[in-house]
Amino acid sequence: MKFDLNKFIAKTLAVGVYSSMFLFCVAIIESFFKKSNVLDRSFFGIMNGLIALDPNATLFAGIVILMLTPVVRVLFLAIGYFIEGDLRFCFYSILVLLILIFSVYFGVH
Amino acid sequence: MFEIALVLMGMLSGIFGALLGIGGGTFVVPLLVIFLHYPIHQAVAISLISIIATSSSVASVNVYNKITNMRLGVTLELATTLGAIAGSFIGTFLKGNVIALIFSFVMAFIAYFMYFHKDNEQATSIVQTKSIYASSYFDYALNKNIEYDVKNLGAGLAISAFAGAFSGMLGIGGGVLKVPAMNAFCKVPIKVAAATSNFMIGVTAAAGAFIYFGKGYIEKPLYVALIVFGVILGSKLSMPIIKKVSPARVKNIFILFLIYLAIEMFVKGVK
């Protein structure tokens, strides 16, 4: 089957949005059973909270997935252009990705 | 009760944004700040996240239907993401009332622009030497394949950087600047310009959102989820409304509402 970059990117975006919406729904259900005052935004804090079915941690996980969706889309665009042999736009995508990583880095630190 | 108000605010933002064709982001910040007395930096952070959600879900459809020009999108993203990072940094250092004042001027400009602007519906003439950005899309309304080329990329890059900076500072998508610019300067058909701008907005908003997230402006994640739900629901609900009423007819009412919000934001800024 021929590689279709448009379908690949469209699916990436849809999966990102639906996963975060799913986590938001789970968090709202969790909040009926458990009150959460946890506001740990670190990676491990969110992961531990997810396992403990903490509503706030589940919400943060949904938010982080939503924020990462465009980042992953840029990464997959770079891979897609590389597969298609379109090296100029592969390079542009990598540059955008580096700018986004810079933003993530300064967001965290 | 407050939770229901948040979903309603999100829905209103989604409907107004879709009917005016400027995305929900332009309305999220003023509605939260004016009616729910929300701190402006937190409102900007929530708005950026709701923009990522609506942009990604709409872009998914446009990319699948090959309306988006991804090559043009990724090139302009170089400028728009850098602009967004600069705008977010400036935004997080500015006082709330200064942002409110800048917001009110930008909204007044958008209202003025929406009132006088007319889209250039004509497709560009096809020249013999095509650039690497030349593409085509199938227009379902006209029932034909439309070929086009991209001109004046420099102007597109400059306006994208500018739009990105406003996006990061104010939590708006910036499509209101990018779509007419791509249409007028780059000679891209309006449907492609709207789809490509929407494609870029998600990345622009993400670049800004990480900075607000890292600085702790998302204190109540539940509120973010409720507004995101509301905005997505609102933009979906607007689709049958758009089919029934002519957007041009309701446009002036929304422009008046935009002016009202601009005045309210100005008053907030001056206080």
DSSP B231-251: HHHHHHHHHHHHHHS-HHHHH
Residues of chain B with pLDDT > 90, as a percent, come to 23
Residues of A in contact with B233 (CB under 8 A): none
Closest CA to B141 of B73, B65, B196: B65
| pLDDT at residue A109 is higher than 80 | no
pLDDT digits (tens, 9 = 90+) for B110-158: 888 878 776 665 555 555 668 888 888 888 777 888 888 888 899 999 9
Position B232 confidence tier, pLDDT thresholds 50, 70, 90 = confident
ipTM of this model?
0.90
Beta strands in chain B (DSSP E): 135-139, 144-148
Query: pLDDT value at position B127?
Result: 57
pLDDT category at A72 given cuts 50, 70, 90 is very high
What's the CA gap between B95 and B39, in Å, rounded? 11
**Identity of residue B26:** T
Residues in chain A: 109
| Closest Cα in chain A to B46 | A63
Write down the mean pLDDT value for chain B: 85
Res A38: pLDDT: 64
Reported as a pLDDT band with limits 50, 70 and 90, residue B218 is confident
- Can you tell me the distance from the alpha carbon of B259 to that of B200, in angstroms, rounded to the nearest whole number? 27
Q: Read off the pLDDT of each residue in B16-40 and give the average, rounded to a whole number.
A: 80
Give me the pLDDT at residue A5, please. Answer: 92
Beta carbons of B81 and A96 less than 8 Å apart: yes
User: What DSSP line would sit under B68-112, residue for residue?
Assistant: S-HHHHHHHHHHHHHHHHHHHHHHHHS-HHHHHHHHHHHHHHHHH
Which residues from B are below 8 Å from A6, CB to CB?
A: 63-64, 66, 70
Query: What integer pLDDT is reported at residue B104 of this predicted model?
Result: 92
Q: Give the angle subtended at the CA of B43 by the CAs of A43 and B7, to the nearest 5°.
A: 90
Question: For residue B49, is pLDDT > 80?
Answer: yes
Tell me the mean pLDDT in the region B167-179.
Answer: 84
**pLDDT (0 to 100) of residue B249:** 67
Whole-model pTM: value is 0.88
Lowest-confidence pick of B116-125, B161-170, B222-231 = B116-125
CB contact under 8 A, B63 and A109: no
Residue A103 identity (one-letter amino acid): S
pLDDT of residue B120: 62
Distance from CA of B67 to the nearest CA of A (A): 10
CB of B138 less than 8 A from some CB of A: no
Domain total of chain A:
1
Please give the pLDDT value at position B126: 56
Q: Tell if the CB–CB gap between B63 and A71 is shorter than 8 Å.
A: no
- Cα angle A95, A100, A104 (rounded to 5 degrees) comes to 145
Q: Are B53 and A5 within 8 A, CB to CB?
A: no
Check: CB of residue A30 under 8 Å from CB of residue A53. yes
Which residues of chain A have a CB within 8 Å of the CB of B71? 89
DSSP 8-state assignment for residue B122: S
Q: Which residues of B139-175 are buried (b: 16+ CB within 10 A; e: fewer)?
A: eeeeeeebebbbbeeeebbebbbbbbbbbbbbbbbbb
B215 touches chain A (CB under 8 A): yes
Q: What is the gyration radius of the CA atoms in chain A, in angstroms?
A: 17
Instruction: Note the pLDDT tens digit of each residue in B53-96.
Output: 988 888 888 899 898 999 999 999 999 999 999 998 898 889 88
Residue range B173-199: mean pLDDT, rounded:
85
Nearest-angstrom CA–CA distance, B46 and B209: 8
Cβ distance of A107 and B213 shorter than 8 Å: yes
Task: State the Cα–Cα distance between residues A101 and B31, nearest whole angstrom.
Answer: 31
User: Which distant-in-sequence residues (6+ apart) come within 8 Å of A1 by Cβ?
Assistant: none
pLDDT higher than threshold 80 for residue B38: yes
**pLDDT, position B248:** 65
Q: Tell me what pLDDT residue B173 has.
A: 81
Rounded to the nearest angstrom, the minimum Cα separation between A2 and chain B is 15
Give the whole-angstrom CA distance, residue B104 versus residue A29. Answer: 38
The proportion of chain A whose per-residue pLDDT surpasses 90, expressed as a percent, equals: 61
Mean per-residue pLDDT, A46-74: 89
Residue B174 phi, psi (nearest 5): 90, 0
Cβ distance A16 to B56 less than 8 Å, yes or no, reads yes
Q: Do B225 and A27 touch (CB under 8 A)?
A: yes
Q: What is the pLDDT confidence band of residue A76, given thresholds at 50, 70 and 90?
A: very high
Range of the domain at A51: 5-108
Say whether pLDDT at A100 is over 80: yes
- Please give the Cα distance from B1 to B252 (Å, whole number): 32
Are the beta carbons of A66 and B205 separated by less than 8 Å?
Answer: no
B224 shares contact with chain A (CB less than 8 Å): yes
Please check whether residue B210 touches A, CB under 8 A: yes
Residue B23 is encoded by which pair of tokens? Answer: 């995305």
